[in-house]
Amino acid sequence: MFDTLSDRLATTFKNLRGKGRLSPQDIDDTLRAIRQALLEADVSLQAVRPFIAAVRERAEGAEVSKALNPAQQIIKIVNEELVAILGGETRRLRFAKNPPTVIMLAGLQGAGKTTLAGKLARWLKSEGHTPILVAADLQRPNAVTQLQVVGERAGVPVFAPEPGNGVGNPVKVAKDSIDFAKTKLHDVVIVDTAGRLGIDAELMKQAADIRDAVSPDEVLFVVDAMIGQDAVITAQAFMDGVGFDGVVLTKLDGDARGGAALSVRQVTGKPVMFASSGEKLEDFDVFHPERMAGRILDMGDMMTLIEKAEQAFDQAESEKMALKLARNEFTLEDFLNQMEQLKKLGSMKKLLGMLPGVGEIKQQLNEIDDKDVDRIAAIIKSMTPGERDDVKIINGSRRQRIARGSGTTVQEVNNLIDRFLEAKKMMQQMAKGGMPGMPGLPGAGGLGGTKRKSAKAKAADKASKSKGRSRSGNPAKAKAEEAARQARKDGTGPGEDAPGQFELPAEFKNLLPPQ
């Protein structure tokens, strides 16, 4: 979503690099480019003005003028002000002292409230809570059925006493859900309310009545991040008509310009608390302003990547795999298990997008197909247990059978086996503490690394030293060399480094001390 904004800002900062000192004109040009980039990203003018003013004030101060690298200092300022405009610190949910905690969702129809309710419930369940979903949207066709399906996928029960489709009292349903949650010992109640295609008085009154009936601990405004500056108008209307405590941004994986994320917090004063970036229930994260700012400036989001890895990978299993690598026992079966754990992290494209500097390889990133992982899994699963343990037994006929069983080609099977063997070899080198061809590392050869001599080479060196220097092929010269060596041994002749062997030029003899 932030690709356009990221590209524009990256180009702006690139023009600053290499300048030892920034002139007032440089600062003006940079701020003008940043302002244009933000406006083109559909950020509200109400948010752009204070942002540019804050960056200008700091850019024209001693913070930049006395810096060793002014360009980096400008980037640092922009990053910090982006964090501020996005909310500063991460805002966490407030839980009631006496359960259940009531969370009410509000927003326009089509913003993704029902799916978001399931995502939030699933996330709360993973955090150790026992949530329940409440079907208080009784007007939209099949809204109750949709919530029940979403709840089943999330593994969370749904309180739906009314069929919906225009039948039932949503205020009574919401109120009765509190007593139901207390009886069934649910500590969190998530109320999914009705939306409209536009802002109207009936929508606001119904939402306000539900709020008054259940006294929610948190009212979350769900907004579609793709509607641009309209998100600010809608948020302001809900703020005035119902009031809310935090914002949830949905559809952050879309191709819109992302201005809503930078506008809502600045205009309403309410923090963005959660972000949804896909259709799957696991595509849901706590909103961290500093991490989002890092993504916008192509600095990556390593913390989120690490957190996802910690959730997906089993520590004991990882240690077991490391031990098998060290023993050269890693097989295709283990490789398949690792791939299945990797799939739990989500889309490979999204994961790689969290790495710093990926803005420079967006074209290659867009070419990544997550279905490649499924094809590899299909090939491995088409092998027998013996073939997975030892790929060297897979001959031509076996490869044809595997290709037919996995719906792939023999070439794809060959590529997988070749890549697996290369990866296995590289992992073995890494397990030993070095990489092939890298200088100065244990186990590394060539390119400046110190080569270890074999036992045979060491023996040859020892024999050579014991025999002394090789003799000349000229008999007369060889006899003279032998006589000189014997004289040195007897002490009757000068050593190899004795001054008598050298004749100083006449101009240097005057520098010697008198005899």
Portion of the chain with pLDDT greater than 90, in percent:
22
Per-residue model confidence (pLDDT) at position 136: 92
Tell me the pLDDT tens digit for each residue of 158-174: 999 998 888 889 999 99
Chosen CATH of 101-297 out of 3.40.50.970, 3.20.20.70, 3.40.50.300, 3.10.450.50: 3.40.50.300
Measured CA to CA, the distance from residue 109 to residue 105 in angstroms comes to 12
On whether 108 is known to bind a ligand per the annotation, the reply is yes
Does residue 63 have a pLDDT over 80? Answer: no
Asked if residue 114 belongs to a known ligand binding site, the reply is yes
Task: Count the Cβ atoms, other than its own, within 10 Å of residue 184.
Answer: 12
What are 455-514's pLDDT values in tens digits?
444 455 555 444 444 454 555 556 666 666 665 555 444 444 444 444 444 444 444 444
Q: Is 14 annotated as a binding residue?
A: no
- The pLDDT confidence band at residue 317, using thresholds 50, 70 and 90, is low
Determine if residue 193 is labeled as part of a ligand binding site.
yes
* Residue recorded with tokens 């809608």: 234
Q: In what order do the strands lie in the sheet with 272-276?
A: 158-159, 131-135, 188-192, 101-106, 218-224, 246-250, 272-276, 284-286
**Which tens digits make up the pLDDT trace of 93-121?**
999 999 999 999 988 887 888 999 999 99
The answer to whether the annotation marks 196 as part of a ligand binding site is yes
Question: pLDDT grade, residue 353 (50/70/90)?
Answer: low
Q: Which residue has the higher pLDDT, 200 or 28?
A: 28
Q: Look at the pTM and tell me if it is higher than 0.75.
A: no
The CATH topology of domain 308-431 is: 434 Repressor (Amino-terminal Domain) (1.10.260)
Ranges of CATH 1.10.260.30 domains, the chain: 308-431
Q: Is pLDDT at 349 greater than 90 in this prediction?
A: no
Q: Given this model, what pLDDT does residue 338 score?
A: 74
- Determine whether the annotation assigns residue 194 to a binding site: yes
Read off the pLDDT of residues 136-195 as tens digits, 9 standing for 90 and up: 998 888 899 999 999 999 999 999 999 888 888 999 999 999 999 999 999 999 999 988
Instruction: Name the residue with tokens 């709020």.
Output: 211
**Correct CATH for 3-85 of 3.40.605.10, 3.40.50.1820, 1.10.4030.10, 1.20.120.140:** 1.20.120.140
Least confident of 27-31, 96-100, 183-187, 426-430: 426-430
111 in a known ligand binding site: yes
User: Is 269 assigned to a binding site?
Assistant: no
- In the chain, % of residues over pLDDT 70: 66
Instruction: Flag whether 113 is marked binding.
Output: yes
Name the one residue in this structure whose structure tokens are 């606001």.
204
Selection from 231, 387, 358 nearest residue 300 by Cα: 358
Beta carbons within 8 Å of 73's beta carbon, 6+ residues apart: 63, 64, 67
Q: CATH 1.20.120.140 residue ranges in the chain?
A: 3-85
Can you give the pLDDT at residue 337?
78
Question: Does residue 145 have a known ligand-binding role?
Answer: no
Average pLDDT along the chain: 76
